[in-house]
Amino acid sequence: MLSLPEISYLIAEEEAASRGVLHLTANETLLSPQAQRVLASPLYNRYLLEHVDLREDSPSRLGGFLFRGLDNVNAIERSALEVCKALFHADYAEFRCLSGLHAMQTTLASLTRPGDKVMRFAIKDGGHFATQHLLKLLGRGSCCYVVNRESLEIDLEETARVFAQERPTLLYIDAMNYLFPFPLGQLKEIVGEEVPLVFDASHTLGLIAGGKFQNPLKEGADLLQANTHKTFFGPQKGIILTNRRELYEKISYDLSQGLVSSQHTSSSLALFVALHEMREYGRVYAERVIHNARYFAGKLHEKGMKVLGAGRGFTGNHQFFIDSAGMAPAPVLMERLLLANIAVNRTVPFEKVDALRLGVQEVTRRGFGDAEFDQIADWFAALLLAEADPRPLAGEVSDFVRARERILYCDEYCDEAGCEESAPAGSSSPGQGRAGKAGEVGKAGEGGRGGLPDAAPLRVGARWVGYRRLEEEFRVPAPVFSHIRELAEIASRYPQQTDGAGNISAAWEGKIYVTTSGSFIGNLGEEDVVELVSAVEHTIAYRGEGFPSSEADMHYLLLEATGSRFAVHNHYLPSDREMAQFGIGMIPPRESGSIALARAVAEASRAHKIIYLQKHGLVFHAPTLEECKALLNALEPGRSE
């Protein structure tokens, strides 16, 4: 067992060794000093919960869980969303995935069902090693694109035949070994609008952001996902981007409900820094990466190595492959390079090809150009073709690398002067805080709501209503409980329903009843219903043993605004087709349980019998029990198809 000092020593030794290695792997990158520093921030210790669309400034909220928020982090994340719109032409972005594989897991779990098939690349055609196994774990099947062995491109005619035969419900571009863009538009024509096309850009995200690779979301992909640490400037994190509202909201909801808790604050901040760096420097960086990859591949080819893709300029991205045919086996070649302090990957990228995979994105950020690659090509020729002893070269390579440690394509002012002393003009001092909605307190409203008639508005500055329990005997009337149970039985059949999700209300003989917080609407008891007695300013008085749903105020205002007697909220996320078919009104994301949400729903309910709360769920309301049941039954998935 190691001691703590021994652990520190070994880490320092590994860091020193890595500094002397020429890193030519295609799956790693360098963080800027600013992004690297953020990873060690004390904010690492703090939770960052919920998507920023639903995360208000402190105190923040995830469902019924309230916590001290990170207001400045929220501001940075909102700026990062705007950067994504500019770089990727994406209306929606999810930063909460912890890695590229987590993004893959999220997308496949959220957009497919057990028994579905997903079209993917076979490993022998460059596909990701994890896709098929993950699909099996999730209870999904798969089929594969047909790839032309000579061109290494998708055979569209044969792939269309496979699609017609297998009928996959999602197309996944999961290639990890590839050289050129994919025919996304033609694939989308084959499968149509109903089948999502997902592009995993883990290798080429930085080139896409720099405008030097294909633009997936403009060319036919419905969703772009990636890790953020290959050609992109970020940490080991995941990102999901799309212009399809219903796909985004399904994924975002599923992340909130069960696929992630904290999105890892310091890693997220490093990603946000990287996004802003890419906005400033991405175009010239991406251009240089592609030039360097082609130049280096060409030099190796000139020296006699078999580099794949020679007839097409070797590569259209950051990586290329040296076929070991005619030389020693690729593992032996790789070992020679490692002994000379040169790191590459050995892989079998395509069927019957034993290869070395090289990438230039990291050394490009170090400022490498033609002269450096001329020298490196000489070393490769000596080591791989002339079979020179690598050990004498190891020191030469390390000196070469250590002389080029600068990191380009980033803003260094924070590293040189320190962020506290060099804060942008107009910002507050660190620790001082900033004015914002978290600290704003509005004036208390006058009057009260003693029942449905003559209601006065709640206090303008409040974010949530408070609740006051009346110590009075209470039992829910039998007809009320029976009606709520009937509605609950239908509402609980919808997808996305879990224990504690959703709530129901009924107006009966001048009184309002609502289900309690955390109650399972699929199995309600009488103790799961309370009476809302009055609402005065920002406090609702109630009778009953349980605690009213956090959305009780939404029910109160809705019934008051419409004259409806029944309202049901469940967590179903409708498709665009369902939105149009049933005339569903939509309101933008609002904080769960907030007064803002309650008011928005009440206003929308004047024009719509069904309202969609984006990334949250549906609200149904009607003046009679039968009408409310009819609404629920009509939209229930499976009935409306």
The CATH number assigned to the domain holding 344 equals: 3.90.1150.10
- My answer on whether 274 and 304 are in the same domain is no
* Residues 94 and 164 reside in one and the same domain: yes
Residue 585, phi then psi, degrees to nearest 5: -80, 155
Q: Is residue 354 part of a domain?
A: yes
CATH number at residue 532: 3.40.225.10
> Does any domain span residue 365?
yes
pLDDT value, residue 638: 58
Q: Is residue 444 part of a domain?
A: no
13 occurs within a structural domain: no
N-term to C-term CA, the chain: 62
Query: pTM of the prediction?
Result: 0.87
How many Å apart are CA 46 and CA 69, to the nearest integer?
9
Angle among Cα 500, 505, 509 to the nearest 5 degrees reads 150
Q: Are residues 377 and 496 in the same domain?
A: no
Phi, psi at residue 225, to the nearest 5°?
-135, 160
Q: What is the pLDDT of residues 265-281, one digit of tens each?
A: 999 999 999 999 999 99
Looking at residue 149, what is its pLDDT? 86
Low-confidence ranges of the chain (pLDDT < 50): 413-460, 640-641
Q: Do 207 and 303 fall within a single domain?
A: no
197 with 268, same domain: the answer is yes
Q: Is residue 263 part of a domain?
A: yes
Task: Please check whether residues 288 and 173 belong to one and the same domain.
Answer: no
Give the per-residue pLDDT at 442.
30
The count of domains in the chain is 3
Q: Is residue 17 part of a domain?
A: no
Which residues form the domain of 129?
32-280
Exposed, middle or buried: residue 195 (CB in 10 Å: 0-12, 13-18, 19+)? middle
Compute the distance between CA of residue 101 and CA of residue 135 in angstroms, rounded to an integer. 12
The CATH number covering residue 176 comes to: 3.40.640.10
CA nearest neighbour of 293 among 235, 362, 346, 393:
362
Query: Residue 187 has what pLDDT?
Result: 98
Same-domain pairing of 142 and 262: yes
Within 10 angstroms of residue 252's Cβ, the number of other Cβ atoms is: 26
**What's the pLDDT at 535?**
87
Indicate if 274 and 319 belong to the same structural domain: no
pLDDT of residue 639: 55
Per DSSP, the chain holds a count of helices (H) and strands (E) of 21, 24
The DSSP line for 234-272 is: S-S-EEEEES-HHHHHHHHHHIIIII-S---HHHHHHHH
617 forms beta bridges with 613
Taking phi first (over 0 means left), then psi (-120 to 50 degrees means alpha), and beta for anything else, what does residue 229 get? alpha
Tokens of 376: 């490196």
Task: Determine, yes or no, domain membership for 558.
Answer: yes
Give the end of a domain, one of 241, 260, 280. Answer: 280
- φ, ψ (nearest 5 deg) of residue 375: -65, -45
Residues 154 and 180 in one domain: yes
Half-sphere exposure of 413 (CA within 13 A, CB side): 7
One domain, residues 275 and 330: no
Among residues 280, 296, 321, the one where a domain terminates is 280
Out of 402, 420, 443, pick the residue that ends a domain.
402
One domain, residues 308 and 186 = no
Are 275 and 291 members of one domain?
no
Residue 26 lies in a domain: no
Hey, which bits of 180-237 come out as E strands? 197-200, 223-227
Nearest to 229 by CA among 29, 24, 72: 29
